[in-house]
Structure 1
């Protein structure tokens, strides 16, 4: 963090140095490739898992994967991981859970946390998680105290 000027109304400069070290990028490549392999495996496919937005061509070369990582990963994303099993109506093919938190294709299982958000919220996730939990609880058990 650096001061942009002596004026206190000017925002400071912020350089996260995200992925500037060769070792950082090597680790990200390894993680993304392992996760891609896991989600492309037969057992994961058998339960309906699929990779979205990362093609086989993206993981075959370091240059291609570096481009994908820079375009899709953020230094701020891992701090508030959300939207990994999105909620949506029955006609949303990408939705993992219904609007009541029930996991599609799995009887007796609900997910009620920030992973069900269709998009990453623009604010911190704590209050959003509480709100989602309270709302879905109201659908089944009445008002939450």
Structure 2
């Protein structure tokens, strides 16, 4: 799963990326909303990290855009030093959580289609159950 980091200070974005990549995460970083939108349009990112310097209006707009382009989790960040420790403590566990959920979806443990029907043996008259998938307010998609 790829992670996109959006931050207004290029040096901090670079530090976040260095830590994520050193720890085995596939991550890319940008400093403008336009760059972020262009990358998000490809629908290749499962996680978006928005830095503390991103203005509230931009933050809201990019969150909405990300939700429309298959981003499963948006993480709000406000780095504190040492940056590498912050990334490992605050960002990496959340990225792993999303990656873990995505693996469950790939294994068929979660419904992934609106209106899907789940067949379960041994439930009597309720052998077939309709399952609707909805988008949660935090951008995650689960049944």
Q: TM-score range by the shorter chain?
A: under 0.3
Give TM-score scaled by structure 1 length: 0.27
When you count strand as a share of all residues, which structure comes out higher? Answer: 2
Q: TM-score, normalised by structure 2?
A: 0.28
